[in-house]
Structures are given as structure tokens and as C-alpha cells.
Structure 1
Amino acid sequence: MFVVIFRAKPGQQDQQYTEMVAKMRELAFEKYACLDFVAATEGEQEIAISYWPDEASILAWKNDPSHALAQSMGQNKWYQSYRVEVLELKREYTFESTSKVAG
């Protein structure tokens, strides 16, 4: 499994940005086999982490014409800067509590 980490310093994000994000997320899952995608913004930093079955899926996603348009708009309008890291997941650990919290 592979992981893509997208770290950005947001610029001017508008309704068009919100719509593009939704469209790109849908495209990643439906056409390019994205397994999971989580994103958060804190202060002046946005981070998105996505999980993929293989590197070929990531490259196909990166080169999709709609994604290329989104990248261009991101560079020209929505982000001051960003960095993308692609990593191969070597190990994974999980924990799930079996007890219920009283409340």
C-alpha cells in the first residue's frame, strides 16, 4: 500500500475550490482506486493523506486531465505553496477498544 501526503499553505479558497475538492475526491475513489482520504486544516496549514493500492494508481491519478487542471488552479489561485510526498507503507498497527464509555 502507498500513502500520499499533501501539505499546503492555503491561499484564497472560494466556492469553486470547495466544488473542485469534492470532484477530485470522487474521481480518486471512483476511477483510480483510492482506498481512503482524510484532510484537515489547522491555522495556516492544510494536510491531506490518501491511501492507494499501488504506485501506478497514484501516477494515473496525478496525470488525469481533470486533476492536472485542479493542480494548475491550485498553483495559480488556491495555494501559496504545497508539498507532496509519496511513501510506501511498510507496517500498520491498529487499536480498537472493546469497552463502552459510560455516559
Structure 2
Amino acid sequence: MFAVIFRATVKETDSEYRIMANKLRKLAFETYGCLDFVAVCEGDQEITISYWESKMAIKTWKENAEHLIAQELGQKRWYSSYNVQIVEVKHEYRF
């Protein structure tokens, strides 16, 4: 299993941002096999962690046409900076 950690400094959000975020989240689950998706915002910081079965699923998700539009809008309007990390989950335990 792999996780994508997206950390961003939010510049501005608007109604289009929320609509796009909801649409992409649904698309990630229904079309690309996302296993889990958690987003947290505090002040101007946003952290999103999504979980995937494979790096190929992550790659095809990143290259989705609507996701590419969202990435462009994120760079131009919504974020002043962001960082993406893709990590492999080696061990997991739960309570």
C-alpha cells in the first residue's frame, strides 16, 4: 500500500475549490481505487493523505484530465505553495 501526503499553504479558497475538491475525492474512490482519503486544514495549512494499492493507481490519478485542471488552478489561485510525498506503507497496526 502507498500513501500520498499533500501539504499546502492555502492562499485562497472559494466555492469552486470546494466543488472541485468534492468532485475529485469522489472520482478518486470510484474510478481510481483510492482506499482512504483524509484532509485537515488549520489556519492556512492543509494536509491531505490518500491511500492507494499501487504507484500505478497514483500515477493514473495524477494524470486524470480533471485532476490536471485542479492542479493548474491550485498553482494559480488556491495555494501559495505545496509539497507532495509518495511513501510506501511498510507496516500498519490499529487499535
The letter for the 1-side match of 2:62 is K
1:71 Cα deviation from its structure 2 partner: 0.2
Structure 2 residue 84 is matched with structure 1 residue 84: yes
**Structure with greater Cα Rg:** 1
- 1:14 aligns with 14
Structure 2 residue 25 is matched with structure 1 residue 34: no
Count of matched residue positions in the alignment of Structure 1 and Structure 2: 95
The letter for the 1-side match of 2:77 is K
Q: Give the alignment's TM-score, normalised by structure 1.
A: 0.91
Over the matched positions of the two proteins, sequence identity in percent amounts to: 53
* Cα distance between partner residues in 1 of 2:67 and 2:43: 26
Could you say what the CA RMSD is over the residues aligned between the two structures, in angstroms? 0.5
- Deviation per CA, 1:21-57: give whole Å up to 9, x if none: 0000011001100000000011221000000010000
The letter for the 1-side match of 2:54 is D
The letter for the 1-side match of 2:44 is E
Give every structure 1 segment of 4 or more consecutive aligned residues whose post-TM-superposition deviation is greater than 3 Å: none
Unaligned stretches of 5+ residues in structure 1? 96-103
Residue 91 of structure 2 aligns to a residue whose secondary structure is coil
